Amino acid sequence: MAKRSSAPARETVGDDRRAGHAAPWVIDALLGTAVALALALIIATGSGGTKLPDVIAYLFAAGFGALMLLRRRMPRTVLLLSGLGLFAYYTLDYPPIGVAVPVLAALFSAAEAGLMLWSTGAALVVFAVSMFYRVYDGGEAIGLLLGYESVSNIALFAAAIALGYSVRARRLRAAQQAEIARLTEAQLAREAELRIQSERERISRELHDTVGHTMSVISLQAGVGAEAVGRDDRAVSEALDRIRSASTRSLQELRSMVRILRSASERDETRSIQSLSAVPELADAARGAGVEVTTDITAVPSELSAPVDAAAYRVIQESITNVVRHAGATHAQVKVGIRDDRLHISVTDNGRGAATDDGAKSGYGMAGMSERVRLLGGSLTTRSFADVGFAVEATIPARLP
């Protein structure tokens, strides 16, 4: 349990730094300062108890705050020390500081670390012990203690635990989405490698058949010519003609195959560029097909996680492909920018909106892009305009957690 609860904390450090957020220890220090100041203020302004606030009372407040620096690495210890510290404070009969405030942050931290039983059990123990001694002392009305006091404390405990659990669930979900995106990329890479391997095997077989057959013919005709030298000049000439014809035909086939290989290599290079930096090449290709494409790209790849950058390129690539093939459009516009830590992509055209809408929704390409965007925590929508035109719009978190 301890190892499992500490792992997310270590992973979060790198994620927060990559995302440009404050370091975890800074957040913990601010939280500890807030807890210490709140308790110190309650002690200074509170009344009750048989002992006036002194240095020890304020040291309790500072201690509750200092425990927040350990909440990620030792959530159980922080939870236990917070509860014991609360009991020790009231044993010394200082002015009341409430039951919930000193332990709320510890309950949140334990729930965030996945220690739901510990946080729930600690909350019940603190609540039960405090209620027992307050009823036993008899200094307050039973109705007030069992009514307003109980409900408010239980609500605060439940809120702290629920908030910690929701933060943990959100973090795990983001990590799962990032892992799914990584596995998807790896699967696509493996499939591409298998296709390349299959193509290489096919080409090797063709080369073997072509060159092997040609060399057999050349060898046979060379033997015929060698035997006819000095005896039948016509047979030698025919053998040489057949050798020249076979070698010429073989060279032509080899050149054609090399051109195919070079073309395939160029296509593979283009497919391997999965980044927004390659969008201008997509626009140039579309212009060559008769569609004027304008781009307004303010986001740069360095501001994006690699899977997000690749997904953005694929969305634009598929959208422009649909415009060229199906829309009958003369103009398309691509807009890409980052707002509120999310990447916004828009591809619009002036083609046949309704027809393109059907094609995009039924096509495997756009369906695949929609699923890919969803796995990254984003959304993709398509819509037709009233008269003409079609739009593909996607929103993806710029940085994966």
- Residues 87 and 111 grouped into a single domain: yes
Residue 113 per-residue DSSP state: T
- Residues 242 and 300 grouped into a single domain: no
Quick: pLDDT tens for 144-183: 556 666 788 888 888 888 998 998 898 888 888 888 888 8
- Quote the pLDDT of residue 11: 44
- Residues 291 and 241 grouped into a single domain: no
- Residues 363 and 392 grouped into a single domain: yes
DSSP string, 62-109: HHHHHGGGGTTT-HHHHHHHHHHHHHHHHHTTPPP--SSHHHHHHHHH
Residue 13 lies in a domain: yes
Query: Averaged over 19-28, what is the pLDDT?
Result: 71
Residue 183 lies in a domain: no
The residue from 214, 239, 272 where one domain ends is: 272
DSSP string, 336-390: EEEETTEEEEEEEESS-HHHHHHHHHH-HHHHHHHHHHHHTT-EEEEEE-SSS-E
- Residues 220 and 98 grouped into a single domain: no
Residue 321 lies in a domain: yes
Which two structure tokens, joined as six digits, stand for 221?
């005709």
The residue from 272, 303, 337 where one domain ends is: 272
- Quote the pLDDT of residue 346: 93
CB 40 within 8 A of CB 61: yes
85-89, 327-331, 393-397: which has the minimum mean pLDDT? 327-331
Dihedral sign for Cα atoms in the order 358, 363, 365, 369: positive
- Quote the pLDDT of residue 296: 92
Residue 325 lies in a domain: yes
Q: With 50 as the cut, is the pLDDT of residue 334 above it?
A: yes
- Residues 263 and 281 grouped into a single domain: no
- Residues 39 and 135 grouped into a single domain: yes
Question: Which CATH number do you get for residue 204?
Answer: 1.20.5
Give dist(CA 305, CA 378) in Å, integer. 13
Quick: pLDDT tens for 224-276: 777 777 777 777 777 787 777 767 766 766 665 565 555 555 555 444 446 88
Residue 372 lies in a domain: yes
Would you give the end-to-end CA distance of the chain in angstroms? 23
95-104, 170-179, 214-223: which has the minimum mean pLDDT? 214-223
- Residues 259 and 338 grouped into a single domain: no
Mean pLDDT of the chain: 77
The residue from 254, 272, 290 where one domain ends is: 272
120-124, 256-260, 308-312: which has the minimum mean pLDDT? 256-260
CB 102 within 8 A of CB 40: no
Query: Averaged over 63-79, what is the pLDDT?
Result: 88
Phi, psi of 379 (to 5 degrees): -145, 150
Query: Averaged over 334-341, what is the pLDDT?
Result: 92
Q: With 90 as the cut, is the pLDDT of residue 4 above it?
A: no
Residue 182 lies in a domain: no
> What confidence category does residue 2 fall into, taking pLDDT thresholds of 50, 70 and 90?
very low
Which two structure tokens, joined as six digits, stand for 38?
């709140």
Q: With 50 as the cut, is the pLDDT of residue 16 above it?
A: no
Strand partners for 392: 347, 382
Longest C-alpha distance within the chain, in Å?
134
Residue 163 lies in a domain: no
Residue 147 lies in a domain: no
Write out the residue range of the structural domain in which residue 217 sits: 192-272
Question: Which CATH number do you get for residue 390?
Answer: 3.30.565.10
Q: pLDDT over 90 for what percent of the chain?
A: 8
Report the range out of 67-71, 205-209, 326-330 with the highest average pLDDT: 67-71
365 or 115: which leads in pLDDT: 115
- Residues 130 and 14 grouped into a single domain: yes
- Residues 259 and 324 grouped into a single domain: no
DSSP string, 264-318: HHHHHHHHH--SGGGHHHHHHHHHHTT-EEEEEE---GGGS-HHHHHHHHHHHHH
Quickly tell me which residue has 């073309």 as its tokens: 263
Model's pTM, two decimal places? 0.45
- Quote the pLDDT of residue 395: 94
- Residues 288 and 213 grouped into a single domain: no
> What confidence category does residue 356 fall into, taking pLDDT thresholds of 50, 70 and 90?
very low
- Residues 238 and 261 grouped into a single domain: yes
- Quote the pLDDT of residue 48: 67
Give dist(CA 58, CA 75) in Å, integer. 23
Which two structure tokens, joined as six digits, stand for 359?
């094609």
Number of domains forming the structure of the chain:
3
Give dist(CA 325, CA 360) in Å, integer. 11
Dihedral sign for Cα atoms in the order 54, 55, 60, 64: positive
